[in-house]
Structure 1
Amino acid sequence: MKRISQIVSTALLGGLLSTAPTFAHADTVTAKAVMEQYVNLASASFSDTLATAKTLQAKVAAFIANPSADTQQAAKDAWLAARKPYSQTEAFRFGNPNVDALEGEINAWPLDEGLIDYVKQDVYDHEEGNAFATANIIAGKDNIDTALLKASQEKGGSEANVATGYHAIEFLLWGQDFNETPTTSGQRPYTDYAKGDACTNGHCERRAAYLQVVTDLLVADLQQLADDWADGKDNNYRSAFLTLDEKEALRRMLFGMGSLSLGELAGERMNVALLAHSQEDEHSCFSDNTHNDIAENARSIQNIFNGTYTRTDGSKVEGASLAQLVASKDAKASETLVNKLADTQQKAEAIVEAAQNGENFDQQIAPDNKDGNKRIKATITALRSQTGDIEAAAKAVGVESLNPESSDSFGG
């Protein structure tokens, strides 16, 4: 995963919100209360992410035990469901070193899929000079275990060598997306996991082993993050966060929101793909789920500013918010940011709506799709426009510099 320093050098930050919270009076909200709600949001978000990953793990095991079109589809559906809460955790990444340290292992992309498995060479676009772009671990002899996958991650110094995380699982379930029709995603046959003579494309047992190991590793990583934010655990990251100086804690919140909004979402995840008109640069390219990634990333920023999170069971976590705290210091700054964040969310949802009507993100970024390009550009512009407003919000609560050049700049 490229750092935001590769996309942004001097710009500041942006965020997302639809409506300001109304469950408490702004002038009664304290920074400490906002910090408490922030860790509650993180705990609920990562708890849901872990739970849906465990469901994915069970569906993957069922698919491996009995490969069929139905069990493969069930695993795919579980992957899609797992992405929704995970994508809503990503605004916690940049401001918190515990999350950022695992992000590459959990969510790195884009990947040179030839590192992992067979590819159709005439449509395989890999990073130039990547010596391991066709290593094909599954066709190899090395024992497939967690150690091998971790050792293969960014092998040879190339970020395109992604051996772990959601997108490695996505590739193993869907396969390459040849974009044969606008609405078709990857079409890996379930027989790639079949037993005996029914096996297609060879090495089915090793492919199944890889899929199981990579899924188990994802669950283990998410368990660590859920534990980091859980209430009632001694000496975890949650307890450390609550002892931070209030301004430093607020800076981390705002830094995480803005870094996802500007450098990562507007830049890396949208503008890079749009400028290159490249399916290879879209976030979830094998499953064509990129439109949902975008909308849920935007919602991640919204959740933190609004102090709310809707759990996968429909229940809501809500409490003191940054929006209220900012409003208590500078009502205009809060109101302006609320309005811009609402506009951004609306534009992101337009991308989702187009995808639901059969025009996936890879079609919307095509060079001859003027309306699709316009839709993507509008969302990027809205995300960028939030920059000055979130900086103003930060200043309102006493945070003078967010230092956004690198996601490593959050400090110790």
Structure 2
Amino acid sequence: MKKFLVLLPISFFVFACSNDDDNNASSNDAITAASVVENYANLVYESYSDSYDSAVLMQTAITTFTETPTEDNFTAAKDAWLSAREYYGQTEAYRETNGPIDTEGESWSIGNEGQMNAWPIDESYIDYVLTGTESYAGDYNSIIGDETYTITEEALAGSNEGVDDKSISTGWHAIEFLLWGQDNTAPAEDLPGQRSYTDYTTAENADRRAQYLTVVTNLLVNDLNDLVSTWSEGGTYRTVFEALDTETALQQAINGAFFIAGDELSSERMIAPVDSTDGIDASGQEDEHSCFSDNTQRDVYANAQGVLNVIYGSYGTINGASFIDLVKQTDPAQAATLEAAASLVATRAALIGDNAQPFDYLITQETSDNTDGPVMQCVVALFDLANEISASASVLGINLN
């Protein structure tokens, strides 16, 4: 099973080369900020819906595996995780928008991003880990190994980051670890973690491991369902968002793309593991976003696509009034510069996402002070895109910090 075999009904990066004639609105019609905000809300709802639907398919595959733990069913569960990540990765551009996923303390907030996608994780908080050929408990008495711990959704949610920021018990990467196990292979081998399905049949704590996998998957699906519901027509946050003044709503929407391009993806998810590796060894594997499945290059690809979705107002069946349309009306030259920056990100992210080598191998060939390799070239393009998003927002009278 290889990550490149995931089949999707999504064409990535098809909007980076769009022009006026490609948009639903005629080039002779004035695009309003209100129509851009409305289209953005529809885009968010549809992409969260797709993420939820794909997670339900993953949940079904995992249930099939835990009820009938065979190697084929284990592979199917991992395939379903990989497929679902493609959809979720695009929704990352809705973070840092004062929206429900990562805002707390408001009546409409869910604040479940850390419960869904926190990383990197200390695997020994969840289950046994390996050093060489020996297993050990690590710094924690693992949840699966602690028979006094009752595994429920409430308990796992309460344990998330219960010791420190790496004591992660929930979300995509907890599920990923339970499916693949640690990746102790050399990056050049192009292999993910090698957990055996027998961890769920004859191994110690097999039943508790299966229970944990089931419960943590259910929790993720429920979190995604909450996001779909709150963004639906008449949903709790959709109502709040639509009541915002147009400039505030537009600023919040664009800030998410600005944040992912200029900070979270470029710095945290790309530069950090490059720096950990420093062109020498595989130590940066632990700082990879999806280090157990060797799926980090696809995360990069999907995260970058999410940024482009927001810029072009396009996702799935949604293709309407967009941020770049507004910029074109106000400052065509700046819009052209933004489009060029977006196109370059599309190209360079594709060189990572479709690379024959996994991300953990690519970063062993690079250092953060040298931009010759595909990872750092993409970082530079993302920084430039963030700058152009900010400059484009400025021509509309919007300040992005």
TM-score (norm 2): 0.87
CA distance in 2, matches of 1:267, 1:137: 31
CA distance in 2, matches of 1:223, 1:352: 28
Matched, 1:119 2:129: yes
Instruction: Summarize deviations over 1:141-199 as a string: whole Å, max 9, x none.
Output: 2111112211211112x1111100000000000000012452110111101111xxxx1
Instruction: Summarize deviations over 1:306-360 as a string: whole Å, max 9, x none.
Output: 01102xxxxx211111110111111111110011110011001011222xx2x10
Consecutive unaligned residues of structure 1, counting only runs of 5 or more, are: 1-15, 125-130, 311-315, 404-412
Partner of 1:172: 178
CA distance in 1, matches of 2:52, 2:301: 20
CA distance in 1, matches of 2:238, 2:297: 31
CA distance in 1, matches of 2:69, 2:58: 15
CA distance in 2, matches of 1:65, 1:112: 27
Instruction: Summarize deviations over 1:262-296 as a string: whole Å, max 9, x none.
Output: 11000000000011110100110000111110011
CA distance in 1, matches of 2:367, 2:126: 33
Q: Structure 1's 18 and 132: CA in aligned 2 closer, same or farther, altered over 3 A?
A: farther
Asked if the contact 2:371–2:377 (Cα under 8 Å) also holds between the matched residues in 1, the reply is: no
Which one-letter code corresponds to 2:76 in the other structure? A
Q: Structure 1's 219 and 178: CA in aligned 2 closer, same or farther, altered over 3 A?
A: same
Asked if the contact 2:310–2:322 (Cα under 8 Å) also holds between the matched residues in 1, the reply is: yes
Q: Structure 1's 369 and 335: CA in aligned 2 closer, same or farther, altered over 3 A?
A: closer
Q: Structure 1's 60 and 295: CA in aligned 2 closer, same or farther, altered over 3 A?
A: same
Q: Structure 1's 132 and 96: CA in aligned 2 closer, same or farther, altered over 3 A?
A: farther
Deviates more, 1:178-187 or 1:371-380: 371-380
Asked if the contact 1:363–1:372 (Cα under 8 Å) also holds between the matched residues in 2, the reply is: no
- Quote how far apart the aligned CAs of 1:25 are: 3.4
Asked if the contact 1:18–1:302 (Cα under 8 Å) also holds between the matched residues in 2, the reply is: no
- Quote how far apart the aligned CAs of 1:96 are: 3.2
Q: 1:218 aligns with which of 204, 217, 220?
A: 220
Asked if the contact 2:23–2:319 (Cα under 8 Å) also holds between the matched residues in 1, the reply is: no
Matched, 1:319 2:320: yes
Q: Structure 1's 380 and 372: CA in aligned 2 closer, same or farther, altered over 3 A?
A: closer
CA distance in 2, matches of 1:227, 1:179: 41
Consecutive unaligned residues of structure 2, counting only runs of 5 or more, are: 1-14, 103-110, 278-283
- Quote how far apart the aligned CAs of 1:133 are: 3.7
TM-score (norm 1): 0.85
Corresponding pairs, count: 366
Which one-letter code corresponds to 1:117 in the other structure? D
Q: Using the aligned pairs only, state the percent identity.
A: 38
1:371-382 alignment to 2 at 5 Å? 374-382=373-381
Partner of 1:183: 190
- Quote how far apart the aligned CAs of 1:246 are: 1.1
RMSD of aligned Cα (Å)? 2.2
Partner of 1:253: 253
Partner of 2:400: 402
Q: Structure 1's 174 and 47: CA in aligned 2 closer, same or farther, altered over 3 A?
A: same
Q: Structure 1's 298 and 117: CA in aligned 2 closer, same or farther, altered over 3 A?
A: same
Asked if the contact 1:95–1:252 (Cα under 8 Å) also holds between the matched residues in 2, the reply is: yes
Which one-letter code corresponds to 1:292 in the other structure? R
Asked if the contact 2:275–2:367 (Cα under 8 Å) also holds between the matched residues in 1, the reply is: no
Asked if the contact 2:274–2:367 (Cα under 8 Å) also holds between the matched residues in 1, the reply is: no
- Quote how far apart the aligned CAs of 1:135 are: 2.4
Asked if the contact 1:149–1:163 (Cα under 8 Å) also holds between the matched residues in 2, the reply is: yes
Which one-letter code corresponds to 1:62 in the other structure? T
CA distance in 1, matches of 2:367, 2:191: 17
Asked if the contact 2:365–2:373 (Cα under 8 Å) also holds between the matched residues in 1, the reply is: no
Q: Structure 1's 133 and 221: CA in aligned 2 closer, same or farther, altered over 3 A?
A: farther
